Structure 1
């Protein structure tokens, strides 16, 4: 079976049109990212069958759910999918356990790939099973809603801004559980968001959407480093690097995260040696020099090469795409600094990383 999602849909509304033709990984988390009104939810609803695009095509890891050429259209109630909305929408008269069991009833025993106990364990809701929804916090309700979506043993999990209704504390409560889903399940997840921090922490792959079109579709790190996308993230512009813990410095409470091109010292959060980690580097936290700086407080210094420059959101600034080994980075510098350093494609530079966020 090919581990691949193919989705092609066209929809025309009075004020909006959707026109996408995508091939996506059949595993991991794919973020559908873009501003409000860009078509993210419309695409998700087409995949769920809640919106019907008559000429659309949909294949999930070898199973065709829609293909007009073969007269195939699987209705929503027959599609093995889980859908998580902004609000959990639990049945208020049922306790948590019976909410979970309700979703499970529609799945024949022979087709159950996610057990009730596994869903409870993944979302850490064992202590909540006897409670009614109105006694739960927003984060707890959303975790129960995600667990209920898993109990239908979906072949794909659709998540439509599941953290948007939560405050920062509740969002931080739920995020580790979403990371656990990615690590422990083989179910592909399509995750709608307009929050760069959520995308950086969770996604392996990203589709950047605007005006009902997919402007970019690719691996997270490479796509975030592109300079040709009209959607700019302002202060959140930066890249995400997949690395591995190489060693720790117990005296100074630091970990060394190794990646193809170098290594970065980050705060020691107790991650084991050899474990994979994800780090986020914002363009505003990267500075450039022509010679290796000495006697500086910046520990992370990498040899790199300028690949391209592009205008930034203010005429005084430019974005610089860099290559460190096979890893792309972005730096935001003033146009004056770029001129004084003679920055141009091919220029060898020293890259100073002032701050690194360890995402886990």
Structure 2
């Protein structure tokens, strides 16, 4: 199910001019605060009527200002999850969940028992929202939205109001829903870590416009987009296969550039995972290093070099069919005489990878 969006709207001094296509999976609208992400979601939901535009979901036209088509929100069949859960305080968790069911056409859709199990809500069903943690309330809000049997789930910064512990609690549940239900999701966030973990497609926005849109691994590894993504967050997504659990507690991964070792990955041999590797955690060498404590050294080839405005540069590396980014100084760039096509060795900090990928998702 593909969502197509073409919007133009003016808010005083701010102009939203966004066009993109969101295929099946989780499409993340990513960008800094004020970039227009929430306005796009509100237009998709039918809460904002743009000056002009067209929105379609598969073969259904939701909005076409040229033809005078504007489907009201309740006819669009969208599930909407906001930053705050917006649960009914006088109802139990069970009653809040079943309230969403009332809006499902013909009372059809996902099995409530299955959603309760996927979101880990079994022990909460008889409690009221005031007794729940922030993460628990958001899980109930997500369940309520899903049980309305939406054609598309809209999530506007659903984790923004939560602390890091609550975010870590709820992210695995979002992964379960994405992988188990196949429900298309439009997910708004300004967190690179969330996007890297959840998204299959990324739409990068800045000042009301779309800078880039495409598969998550391609957009996030595009060095030209690093200023918009944030230089400290610049990095790449690396697909790996878990080969074995070693006796010393390390998990051995297989990549096109050589083996990787990470501490205690909770998955079985043969599992495929996606690791997020920050550019600042990748050191380059023109010869294979010896006498280092670093375990993770991958063979790579320099693909592109993107000098920044300051003393740093981003080097895009090819590792088989995968891409890595390395952030080094221009002085190092000259000292190593790096050029496109030159073979190098990428040294990855094991601890940094492990911290970045605690609980990271399995690939389908």
Specify the TM-score bucket, using the shorter chain as the normaliser: over 0.9
Match of 1:235 among 232, 237, 240: 232
- CA pair 72-258 structure 1, distance change in 2 beyond 3 A: farther
Partner of 2:205: 209
In the other structure, the counterpart of 2:78 is 81
Say if 1:260 and 1:342 are closer, same or farther in 2 by CA, change over 3 A.
Answer: same
Residue 139 of structure 1: SS of its match in structure 2?
helix
Residue of structure 2 equivalent to 1:15? 13
Q: Is 1:340 paired with 2:338?
A: no
SS at match of 1:18: strand
Divergent runs of 4+, >6 A? none
Does the CA contact (< 8 Å) of 1:262 and 1:324 recur in 2?
A: no
In 1, the alpha carbon distance for the partners of 2:237 and 2:188 equals 18
Q: Give the structure 2 partner of residue 351 of structure 1.
A: 346
Deviates more, 1:129-138 or 1:224-233: 224-233
Counterpart CA distance in 1 for 2:265 and 2:224 is 35
Paired with 2:69 and 2:272, the residues of 1 have a C-alpha distance of 41
- Residue 236 of structure 2 contacts residue 325 of structure 2 at CA under 8 Å; is this kept in 1? yes
Is 1:106 the equivalent of 2:103? yes
TM-aligned CA deviation for residue 71 of structure 1: 4.5
Q: In the alignment, is residue 51 of structure 1 matched against residue 48 of structure 2?
A: yes
Change (3 A) 1:83 1:17: same
Aligned to 2:96, the other structure's residue is in SS state helix
Is the counterpart of residue 166 in structure 1 residue 136 in structure 2? no
Aligned equivalent of 1:282, options 235, 260, 278: 278
8 Å CA contact 2:314, 2:327 repeated in 1: yes
Which structure 2 residue ranges, 5 or more long, are not aligned?
none
Q: How does 1:154-193 map to 2 (within 5 A)?
A: 154-193=150-189
- Displacement of 1:232 after TM fit? 4.1
Does the CA contact (< 8 Å) of 2:104 and 2:150 recur in 1?
Answer: no
2:87 and 2:300 map into 1 onto residues whose CA distance is 51
Deviations 1:99-157 (A, max 9, x none): 111111122336x2212212211211111111111111111111101111101111111
Secondary structure, aligned partner of 2:300: strand
Contact 2:240 2:254 in 1 (8 A): yes
Q: Judge which range, 292-301 or 77-86, deviates more.
A: 292-301
Following superposition, the deviation at residue 21 of structure 1 comes to: 1.2
User: Counterpart in 2 of 1:323?
Assistant: 318
Question: What residue number does 2:138 align with?
Answer: 142
Q: Distance in 2 between matches of 1:71 and 1:245?
A: 53
Note if contact 2:235-2:278 (Cα within 8 Å) is conserved in structure 1.
yes
Distance 1:232 1:109, change over 3 A: closer
Q: Which runs of 5+ in 1 are unaligned?
A: none
How many residue pairs match? The answer is: 354
